């Protein structure tokens, strides 16, 4: 994190206040900066200073900081806090954020926090805790604005004023019937422009888009994106309103899913984090590297089988890295396009077929161009026309097949419900190595008589 000079000065000053125990001065300076910036400062301090900060801040103020820290980094802070203080911080956080963090902690720690916490907060959290990970239920919050269809606009305004401080968003109000079924929705704008005596029933929109608690979080993200809402209601199978998911939670989901996909593309099971130790990073990467090592041995032994061709025309060896490299490059390009499309759900059945046909054509065009260029270069460089044609044709065939493989492999994997992002870059590259060498030496063997 780069810090400019003003921030540096501000931080120095804050540290100064902390070490000289000037509570009021610290609070005044610290609380005037944005909670996200507070979090940056907080995380930069050693444990002793952080303990000081907890002493200087109320649980509510600390909760604001905690809501701005990445989930992966947060555990140690709650562990070092006094458990009573930690429980109060949880109670002050918005329920969905508190639940996300509690899900990261040991079971017995969670139980002890919930025991200390006051009953109301504990109840809400307990309710959310048992939803399956990565479902709508696990990311929703129960702090929404609920109103009744028989209320007037004026009455609703009063309710709004009362409940607004607690609600995650007040822009949408969800309308319930007597049995808490979700029957309508109203935006703040709709409410404000309506006359005071009008009934909610008359101005609410009844065409409600909602998601079920069990819905996959990725599908929820897609719906929010497609409908352009700021929040979506979450219902049970009888259409009772259970909670809402707001767009800021969805940004986190998209981030998480994208970095998930990206890690898999790069061949690391769980994305390396900048502050992992070298040993941990190595542990995450090694499984893939070992698998690829064996696949690589396959390629090596394949080349060994063409020893005869190589001994007749050793010059063939020069172009192995070129051809294999080109196959890898084009495969990775096609892979990225296909995985992205699959992840965003852009393709229907039709779309996949269209993608494959397009990739085949793309491979044909790029292959032809690269083939002609390399033929020319080899001819000018080595003065060998047949060798040029051989390498050129190999490149052309390789690019067509490798491009196709790059898009086909993820689509096939998707069909068999294997996460297509697992058809990772290194994997495709190795497959394409094998394909390209088979093509190259296949052609070389067939046209050996022209080479000598
Ligand atoms: P507009 O875009 O019409 O000017 P707006 O900007 O005030 O409205 P939007 O967020 O665009 O608000 O929402 C548009 C409309 O969608 C609002 O009238 C709101 O009542 C309605 N709406 C909000 N959530 C849902 C939902 N889950 N299902 C159906 N309709 C919804
Ligand atoms: Mg709008």
Tell me the average pLDDT across 21-27.
Answer: 92
pTM for the structure as a whole: 0.61
Residue with tokens 């820290």: 69
Q: Cα–chain-centroid distance for residue 89?
A: 27
* DSSP H helices in 130-246: 136-139, 153-163, 188-193, 200-203, 217-227
The pick from 212, 215, 229 for probing ligand 1's pocket by mutation, whose C-beta has the most ligand atoms within 8 angstroms, reads 229
Residue 203 Cβ contacting ligand 1 at under 6 Å = no
Q: pLDDT for 211-221, tens place per residue?
A: 998 899 989 99
Selected from 1.10.287.1260, 1.10.357.20, 1.10.1060.10, 3.90.1170.50, the CATH number assigned to the domain covering 278-451 reads: 1.10.357.20
Ligand nearest to the CA of 172: 1
Report whether pLDDT(3) > 70.
Answer: no
Residue 227 Cβ contacting ligand 1 at under 6 Å = no
Ligand nearest to the CA of 171: 1
In percent, the amount of the chain with pLDDT more than 90 equals 45
* DSSP H helices in 345-418: 349-382, 385-415
Domain 146-261: CATH class, spelled out? alpha beta
Largest CA distance in the chain: 97
Which residues make Cβ contacts (< 8 Å) with residue 420, sequence separation at least 6?
338, 339, 342, 343, 410, 411, 413, 414
Same fold, 3-130 and 278-451: no
Residue 229 Cβ contacting ligand 1 at under 6 Å = yes
Task: Classify 173 in phi/psi space as left (phi over 0), alpha (psi -120 to 50) or beta.
Answer: beta
Residue 188 Cβ contacting ligand 1 at under 6 Å = no
Q: pLDDT for 74-85, tens place per residue?
A: 989 999 999 889
Cα–Cα nearest to 241, from 103, 134, 137: 137
Q: pLDDT for 281-314, tens place per residue?
A: 888 778 778 888 888 898 889 888 888 888 888 8
Is residue 63 exposed (0-12), middle (13-18) or buried (19+ Cβ within 10 Å)? Answer: buried
What pLDDT, on a 0 to 100 scale, did the predictor assign at position 185? 95
What pLDDT, on a 0 to 100 scale, did the predictor assign at position 64? 94
Relative to the CA of 210, which ligand 1 atom is closest?
Answer: 27
Residue 417 Cβ contacting ligand 1 at under 6 Å = no
Closest C-alpha to ligand 1, atom 12: 187
Ligand nearest to the CA of 227: 1
Q: pLDDT for 269-281, tens place per residue?
A: 555 666 678 888 8
Question: What sign has the CA pseudo-torsion 5, 68, 135, 72?
Answer: positive
Of 269 and 377, the structure prediction assigns the larger pLDDT to 377
Among 181-190, 230-239, 306-315, 372-381, whose mean pLDDT is lowest?
306-315
Residue 445 Cβ contacting ligand 1 at under 6 Å = no
Domain 3-130: CATH class, spelled out? mainly alpha
Of 442 and 345, the structure prediction assigns the larger pLDDT to 442
Of 199 and 287, the structure prediction assigns the larger pLDDT to 199
Residue 205 Cβ contacting ligand 1 at under 6 Å = yes
Report whether pLDDT(130) > 60.
Answer: yes
Domain boundaries, the chain: 3-130, 146-261, 278-451
């Amino acid at each position: 994190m780069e810090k400019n000079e003003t921030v540096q000065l501000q931080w120095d000053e804050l540290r100064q206040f902390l070490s000289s125990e000037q509570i009021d001065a610290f609070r005044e300076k610290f609380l005037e900066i944005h909670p996200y910036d507070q979090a940056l400062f907080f995380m930069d301090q050693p444990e002793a200073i952080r303990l000081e900060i907890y002493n200087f801040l109320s649980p509510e103020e600390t909760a604001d900081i905690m809501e701005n820290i990445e989930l992966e980094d947060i555990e140690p802070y709650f562990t070092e806090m006094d458990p009573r203080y930690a429980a109060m911080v949880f109670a002050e956080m918005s329920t969905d954020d508190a639940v996300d963090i509690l899900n990261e902690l040991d079971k017995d720690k969670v139980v002890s926090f919930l025991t200390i916490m006051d009953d109301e907060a504990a109840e809400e959290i307990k309710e959310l805790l048992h939803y399956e990970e990565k479902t709508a239920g696990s990311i929703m919050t129960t702090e929404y604005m609920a109103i009744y269809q028989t209320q007037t606009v004026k009455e609703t305004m009063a309710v709004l004023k009362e409940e607004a401080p607690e609600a995650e968003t007040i822009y949408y109000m969800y309308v319930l019937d007597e049995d808490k079924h979700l029957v309508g929705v109203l935006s703040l704008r709709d409410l404000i422009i309506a006359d005071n005596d009008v009934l909610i029933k008359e101005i609410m929109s009844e065409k409600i888009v909602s998601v079920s608690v069990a819905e996959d979080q990725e599908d929820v993200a897609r719906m929010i994106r497609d409908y352009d809402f700021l929040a979506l209601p979450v219902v049970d199978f009888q259409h009772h309103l259970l909670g809402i998911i707001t767009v800021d939670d969805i940004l986190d989901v998209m981030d998480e899913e994208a970095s998930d996909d990206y890690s898999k593309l790069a061949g690391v099971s769980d994305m390396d984090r900048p502050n992992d130790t070298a040993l941990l990073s190595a542990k995450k990467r090694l499984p893939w590297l070992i698998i690829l090592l064996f696949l690589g041995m396959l390629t090596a032994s394949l080349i060994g089988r063409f020893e005869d061709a190589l001994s007749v025309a050793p010059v063939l060896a020069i172009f192995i890295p070129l051809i294999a490299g080109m196959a890898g490059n084009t495969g990775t390009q096609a892979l990225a396009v296909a995985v992205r499309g699959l992840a965003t759900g852009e393709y229907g059945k039709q779309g996949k077929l269209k993608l494959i046909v397009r990739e085949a054509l793309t491979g044909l065009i790029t292959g032809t161009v690269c083939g002609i260029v390399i033929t020319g270069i080899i001819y000018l460089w080595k003065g060998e026309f047949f060798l040029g044609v051989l390498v050129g044709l190999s490149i052309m065939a390789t690019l067509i097949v490798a491009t196709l493989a790059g898009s086909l492999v993820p689509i096939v994997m998707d069909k068999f419900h294997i996460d297509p992002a697992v058809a990772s870059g290194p994997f495709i590259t190795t497959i394409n190595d094998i394909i390209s060498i088979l093509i190259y030496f296949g052609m070389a063997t067939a046209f050996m008589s022209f080479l000598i």
